[in-house]
Structure 1
């Protein structure tokens, strides 16, 4: 069987386009550095959040209801400890969660080719192609992941197919251009069963017309689909990503802060703009430091390959209350956390002992 020729266009078939001299040609995404935009200094100032308040600790009824629901959600847990316990102390440990979101856009140009079926040829005659970061694209919904591929204006051209030399046909791989192949029924012998029975499939000739090329010795070129011409253009792949930086300023109380990712808090502060400033003067100075760190990290991490379109950061106050109680003359404790009043009680005394 003949070896299939190269299907990818050779490098010399691609035009030299200003601003696109080093773009990819083999399916590789190579994202370009964005234009340099002015940035805020991380030493900039930001007014204090307008609201500085805390969420009061939950009361005993709420603490008991939360633990009762926690027990009912576990089929092997008894609800009696929650119903009969004597609450001794409610100790609040309110925690702050800082979250920074940077909505970024990245662009990767690549030469593309496809069979020419009469597509509009928007070439250099209509004007010079815009540089990659000047191609006009509508920005999708902010802070949502998205991807789009578009044809760069004024980069199209039509050229003869390199695979078939612009004829639309290539030598048949199956019959090596002869148009004939050995009969598969009689294995080319013309007869079956030791020569006593003429092969009806090939009428005794031992050969058949090639099905791949219908006996012509040449078949349709797969690269240009028989058109003989290819349509070339630069395709721009644009990706939008929502990148997050999150940090919880915790209290040293033995509560696993990783559990907080499943609950919501009360927003104390929010700001959204092209580039947010580090928070200054917040009631917990650790938030100020984390805010500055997150903003610096995002500009360092994404600034070289992406354009930051919009940033948003928030501070949430997440209520965490440690409940100390007594049941059957023994001391126990558990945590109630989040606006949802979820419970963390790894040492719940009613485990695996359903009491009717």
Structure 2
């Protein structure tokens, strides 16, 4: 349901309240002082000498990388341009007037204060879950653009990351590997006994009496490739304007999305930071309540009263008298027979505080920079027995190779060619995929050696096998003979 235009539908201001709006709408001009009129031609004032950002290089894009590799360093002083006056913030935006927040009536109102033309003719049913009306969507064109952020809207805009240039002396380090351990027959038997003890319905005799015929050792390799990625996005956001200092375009040109310094606390740990882009803040009238500070109450639709939910608006309830064995009407004690009740959401006023501006009438708009640090992980398991490969990922093993660099090289000299091939594939995939998505801060790849032992055994007339794997000696025994102890009763 749309709202009426601001010029109609609301009670006139009482004497001593807020001044009537000037002809043509908008805010009344500030009395004396304030900011000087804008320069002819509109737009932002020209930057002071030495301030702001230098003109872009011919051809556009990012500046050429510095020698030494890596990403170009931020501007001196943390990447922020100097302001035109002392301090990081300027006084309030020219033309911005701080309004007193709208305050709902205290207590209960005898008559509703909302008199818009969208009030229904009858009291509605009481709905305690009625949600506040979101109001119209904001019009970004009224906020005005900011230099360097013309593409920014209400949804995330992702600026391209700076180009990576490897250092001149970036050479591949040597590959060094460690070795794993073996498994004895007694360790295999103990692992099976422990496995059976963890399953209440498994019989113990096969685990205690089985005869091990052969132990076939093998090794599974779990290769993990990680890319620690930084991505940035910007969008317009708003917060209620409560008279706080406004750092707007009058203070200088805003820094670029990748010029704002933001560092993570730990590598390879997900983290999100949200930062207000300097010199982008503006004050605008609230689009949701048209600058009134209140909205029509969603529960009573502005009438201040609702139908009694106990008697459904009838004022009485139908009761059965067991003594007379007859039905009779009984006055509803909730509404005292009126069939109507004062709305508890608005106290009978018909108005509620705007949920967008929190009654402040104005909004502070600014461009928000969201910096995400994400650990992007891919892995592959090389395991050549009939045991499921997925069991290897969570099993304990020995790290036999690990390398952490800005860019890693794939493994090429390992004894297992399958590990070499999958390392080559995952490294290429991560580099090609995530260089376009953001800035790669670090890469790390790890190779774990997970021991796997296939054990052939016999118990009575049964010949089968089980596997012991991982440093914890976990057991995978899908063909265990006694998987039910026959002591369970199926109800």
TM-score class, shorter: 0.7 to 0.9
Q: Which moved more, 1:308-317 or 1:121-130?
A: 121-130
Q: Structure 1: which 5+ residue stretches go unaligned?
A: 186-191, 194-200, 202-207
**Which residue of 1 is the match for residue 391 of structure 2?**
259
Aligned-pair distance for 1:94?
A: 0.5
**Which residue of 1 is the match for residue 455 of structure 2?**
323
Where does 1:277-292 land on structure 2 (aligned, <5 Å)? 277-292=409-424
Aligned-pair distance for 1:265?
A: 1.1
Question: Partner of 1:61: helix, strand, or coil?
Answer: helix
Where does 1:1-356 land on structure 2 (aligned, <5 Å)? 2=118, 6-25=135-154, 28-38=155-165, 46-53=172-179, 55-162=180-287, 166=291, 168=293, 223-251=356-384, 253-353=385-485
Q: Within 1, Cα distance between the matches of 2:459 and 2:296?
A: 88
Aligned-pair distance for 1:49?
A: 2.6
Aligned-pair distance for 1:329?
A: 4.7
Aligned-pair distance for 1:97?
A: 1.0
Q: 1:165 to 1:343 in 2, by over 3 A?
A: closer
**Do 2:401 and 2:447's aligned partners in 1 also have CA atoms closer than 8 Å?**
yes
Number of residue pairs aligned between Structure 1 and Structure 2: 327
**Do 1:156 and 1:232's aligned partners in 2 also have CA atoms closer than 8 Å?**
yes
Question: Partner of 1:63: helix, strand, or coil?
Answer: helix
Aligned-pair distance for 1:184?
A: 7.4
Question: Partner of 2:431: helix, strand, or coil?
Answer: helix
**Which residue of 2 is the match for residue 197 of structure 1?**
none
**Do 1:158 and 1:231's aligned partners in 2 also have CA atoms closer than 8 Å?**
yes
**Do 2:382 and 2:389's aligned partners in 1 also have CA atoms closer than 8 Å?**
no
Aligned-pair distance for 1:45?
A: 6.9
Q: Within 2, Cα distance between the matches of 1:286 and 1:45?
A: 24
> What do you get for the CA RMSD once the two structures are aligned?
3.6
Aligned-pair distance for 1:58?
A: 0.2
Aligned-pair distance for 1:125?
A: 3.2
Q: Within 2, Cα distance between the matches of 1:98 and 1:176?
A: 62
Question: Partner of 1:94: helix, strand, or coil?
Answer: strand
**Which residue of 1 is the match for residue 55 of structure 2?**
none
Question: Partner of 1:24: helix, strand, or coil?
Answer: coil
Summarize deviations over 1:175-210 as a string: whole Å, max 9, x none: 999xx889979xxxxxx99xxxxxxx9xxxxxx9xx
Q: 1:98 to 1:45 in 2, by over 3 A?
A: farther
Q: Structure 2: which 5+ residue stretches go unaligned?
A: 1-116, 120-132, 309-314, 317-334, 336-341
Summarize deviations over 1:159-186 as a string: whole Å, max 9, x none: 3444566565678999999xx889979x
The structure, 1 or 2, with the larger RCO (C-alpha pairs under 8 Å, 6+ apart) is: 1
**Do 2:304 and 2:348's aligned partners in 1 also have CA atoms closer than 8 Å?**
no
Q: Within 1, Cα distance between the matches of 2:297 and 2:440?
A: 53
Question: Partner of 1:267: helix, strand, or coil?
Answer: strand
Q: 1:72 to 1:10 in 2, by over 3 A?
A: same
Q: 1:258 to 1:163 in 2, by over 3 A?
A: closer
Q: 1:227 to 1:17 in 2, by over 3 A?
A: same
Question: Partner of 1:93: helix, strand, or coil?
Answer: strand
Question: Partner of 1:134: helix, strand, or coil?
Answer: coil
**Do 2:467 and 2:475's aligned partners in 1 also have CA atoms closer than 8 Å?**
yes
Aligned-pair distance for 1:131?
A: 1.1
Q: Within 2, Cα distance between the matches of 1:135 and 1:248?
A: 40
Summarize deviations over 1:105-155 as a string: whole Å, max 9, x none: 222211112221022211223332111122211213222222222211111
Q: Within 1, Cα distance between the matches of 2:383 and 2:291?
A: 69
